[in-house]
Amino acid sequence: MQFHKTFIQLLLLCLPFSSICLAQTTPVSLTPAIERQFTKIESDILSAAGAMPADKFYFSPEELHIKNSDFKGVRTFAGQIMHLATDNMLIWSAITGDSVRTDIEDVNGPKSITTKKDIIEYLKNSFAVGRKAIAAITDKNAMDMIQFRWRKLSKLDLAFYALTHANEHYGQMAVYLRMCGIIPPPTINEK
């Protein structure tokens, strides 16, 4: 009886320390951190794309003729989305090794996609490719070098590039929305 009592006391004494030891040996994955950033950016971009009315989807600041500005030849709102979605496809597919659509001729996407509905669907598909790529990045392969355009980058570098690039275009989309008198939905949601 005394042995059992001593054993239980010893077990209870060691229990808090075992969780510390287990926590140190449990592998930590990069994937959840990448997914958190991706989910936020995806949400911001999709809500911004949805907020622009169809009749203003091809808006460009060039139309405003702002004195001392230089918006000549900048992408339209729809052009921003098509470029972003296309680069998403190209970047994330480089990570997965999957081939891309055959109708992608350049970074501005397929010329056949022109309506707001189809452009947003294309954008959503690009994010699906991103989710697949993120799921494929592991602690063991994150630093594997892959060819992308004119250089070799690690899968992790390419994932960060995709996230940064998407965030840059969200910033441009937010400005375009405001130029059209629309408050970007993520801004409304954060207030």
Bridge partners (DSSP) listed for residue 183: none
- What would the pLDDT profile of 70-122 be if each residue is shown by its tens digit? 888 899 999 999 999 999 999 999 999 999 888 888 899 999 999 999 999 99
CATH of domain 31-190: 1.20.120.450
Angle at 107 (CA atoms; ends 135, 97), nearest 5 degrees: 30
Contact 50, 56 (CB under 8 A): no
Predicted TM-score (pTM) of the model is 0.81
